[in-house]
Amino acid sequence: MNLLRIPLLRRLLSLSGESNPSDELSRCQFEAFARQLPLLHVILIINTVAVAITHIGTAPAWLARDVPISLCAVCLMRLATWLRRQKRRHTLTDAQIAARMRTTLVLIGVLGVLFTTWGLALYPYGDAYARVHVAFYMSITVIGCVFCLMHTRAAALLLTAIVVVPFSLFFALTHNVVLMAIAANMLLVAVAMVLILLSYYRDFARLVESRRSLRARQAELLRLSEENSSLANLDSLTGLPNRRRFFGELNALVPRDNPGALRYAVGVIDLDGFKQINDLYGHAAGDRVLEEAGCRLLALSGPHITLARLGGDEFGLLIRDLTDVQELVLLGTAICEALRRPYVWLGATLSLSGSIGLAIFPEGGETPDQLFEHADYALYFAKTHRRGGITIFSHEHESQIRKFGEIEQALRHADLELEMSLHFQPIVDVMTARIISFEALARWHSPILGAVPPSLFIKVAERSHLIHTLTEVLLGKALRIMKAGAVEARVSFNLSALDLASPDALERLISMIRKSGVAPDRLTFEVTETAVINDFEQAQQALKALKTLGAHISLDDFGTGFSSLNCIHRLPLDKIKVDRSFIADIETNVGARDIVRSIVDLCRSLSLACVIEGVETPAQVEVLRQLGCEVMQGFHFGRPSAADGKDGLDPLTRFDISVYCGVGSTEKNS
């Protein structure tokens, strides 16, 4: 039965403003009414039993016994239904609540009519006291029930109308002054109850709305909090966790007081060749590559694997509950393969790779700082020795770190002017059998460590930011030797990537050259491909400044880095030096010969001089000559030698290049 189809009730609901209550209000009404429902039925049962007892013997049995028993049975069934539903305690949907509220409204109307009819039917039986009892029963019962129904305004108003109107009319027509007074009194009380009911219901509805608004504000605050947390802990470009979250998880990951805990691994990932893409194609292409790399890494994340962007093209890796090192190797390999897949930008295919350094707890470190530092060192080792692969920090690396630490301390306390020296190796034109210049090579003899190889102390100087001081000391020595030696002697001097990256350091070097009295065109500054690619724009500006000064520029170790034809074309180069790795087996390696031939042709087309490094045997000289090479350097022509003679760098007195005729040293280059 749809109560809203009854015109009177539909009008009642409309007047009460409850024809279409909100889902939130309906739920609160239902919950409040459900708590009052047992009291409502208890009131009905107690009052009905009391009236029925006073009319036994005076009213017909069916009216004094059967009808009240039936009415009380209905109330008891409703109570049993309520108790059964309370035990289930399942959450109702809004539709279910609306259906039950409609059913309740119908039952209230039906029960109101039945109890009112029964009470008025008892009035003719019994004495005056019994009649007053009926009036008292009806008035007190309706008041109690209305207050139990205060949260359901429509039901309370309906019950008031069903009981009070017939009650007032019935007793007003008895012409009994007492009963007429009771009827009038009941009518006034009913009006007061209705006013109280309407006021209470408005406050109740406002309270519900206020609670709903408060929850909505709390939900919005929670959403904003989660959004702020997301912004604070996620990288906006890649969608990966950011540096803050990475180190937060790392600090929580390492159990300092649980030596028996499962092993963990920390990794640092760096994109090889990203700087070149950024410089050649612009930051938009760089962002696209980072975004795609982030998606690929995110696909490899899991419950025990966290990948994060630490900044730039560097990413972090955390692996929890590590039980097998092979598992770590497989994951690292999968990451490298994912990063190696081509990237597409505006129709161009971009290629790069990813190098990974890893440290395992507790072998690779017992604190977060140690683990990350060792993973970073393993990354440095990977980029130096196995670019595009993985390196797991080991005891060997730990020994290297200690060794590097010793070198750094000795370097920091060294008297560089006294301990540093320069050796010079000739660069020969094999077509004229003439030395055309010398390469200045740094040497360090520490009173604590003894002779330290350049491959070690240069790296330590760069990592400890001592390279600028070291470069200035060595260039000062080179300039003094050049000024004291033969006027025609030319010198090649190596610059670090950090020297190019620092405008202040570069300005100091230029100032030294100007004050030295040495013609700048006698100097050739050699820079590696890696040094240029690290910050191409800054390197380009630095090399242009040296070129403007009058010095020559040479690209060293060509073929081992990431430089492209476009990159070479944009640099103010005078010569290219082919890395010695292509020369070692050039007599038997067809691929190496093809590479060297291609580089020689490239240099000719760009009007650049081509210098071949690492030449050690006459057979290599012969093969290189056949490939069109004219300028060479290596132990076949002369070992690096200290410039301590009277004539400084005079090539006519310091070096004998007759070895070119076939009598050459077979020692390895250093």
Sequence-ordered list of residues with C-beta below 8 angstroms from that of 269, at least 6 positions apart, any chain: 297, 307, 314, 315, 316, 317, 335, 339, 354, 355, 356, 379
| Residue 346 pLDDT level (bands cut at 50, 70, 90) | confident
CA distance readout (Å), 205 to 24, 200, 319, 588: 10, 9, 54, 94
Residue in this structure with the two tokens 């008292």, named with its chain if needed = 136
Q: In terms of C-beta density within 10 A (0-12 exposed, 13-18 middle, 19 or more buried), how is residue 293 classed?
A: buried
Three-class secondary structure of residue 2 per DSSP: coil
For the cut 60, the answer to whether the pLDDT of residue 582 exceeds it is: yes
In this prediction, residue 19 carries a pLDDT of 45
**Cβ proximity of 186 and 136 under 8 Å:** no
Positive or negative, the CA dihedral 410, 412, 416, 422 is positive
| Residue 487 pLDDT level (bands cut at 50, 70, 90) | low
296-340: per-residue pLDDT in tens?
Answer: 999 998 888 999 999 889 999 999 888 888 888 999 999 999 999
| Residue 222 pLDDT level (bands cut at 50, 70, 90) | confident
131-150: per-residue pLDDT in tens?
Answer: 888 888 888 888 888 878 77
Three-class secondary structure of residue 648 per DSSP: coil
| Residue 662 pLDDT level (bands cut at 50, 70, 90) | very low
**Cβ proximity of 522 and 494 under 8 Å:** no
Cross-strand pairs, 205: none
29-73: per-residue pLDDT in tens?
Answer: 777 777 787 888 888 888 889 888 888 888 888 988 888 899 889
CA atoms within 13 A on the CB side of 214: 6
Q: What is the mean pLDDT of the chain?
A: 83
CA atoms within 13 A on the CB side of 360: 18
For the cut 50, the answer to whether the pLDDT of residue 367 exceeds it is: yes
Q: Which helix (H) or strand (E) holds 442?
A: strand 434-446
174-214: per-residue pLDDT in tens?
Answer: 888 888 888 888 888 888 888 887 887 787 778 777 877 88
**Cβ proximity of 274 and 311 under 8 Å:** no
**Cβ proximity of 208 and 31 under 8 Å:** no
In this prediction, residue 296 carries a pLDDT of 93
In this prediction, residue 461 carries a pLDDT of 92
| Residue 7 pLDDT level (bands cut at 50, 70, 90) | low
The pTM of the full predicted model, rounded to 2 decimals, is 0.57
Alpha helices in 413-502, H assignment, sequence order: 416-419, 454-463, 467-484, 497-501
State the DSSP string of 200-235.
HHHHHHHHHHHHHHHHHHHHHHHHHHHHHHHHHHB-
Q: What is the Cα–Cα distance from 368 to 569, expressed in whole angstroms?
A: 45
Q: What is the Cα–Cα distance from 382 to 380, expressed in whole angstroms?
A: 5
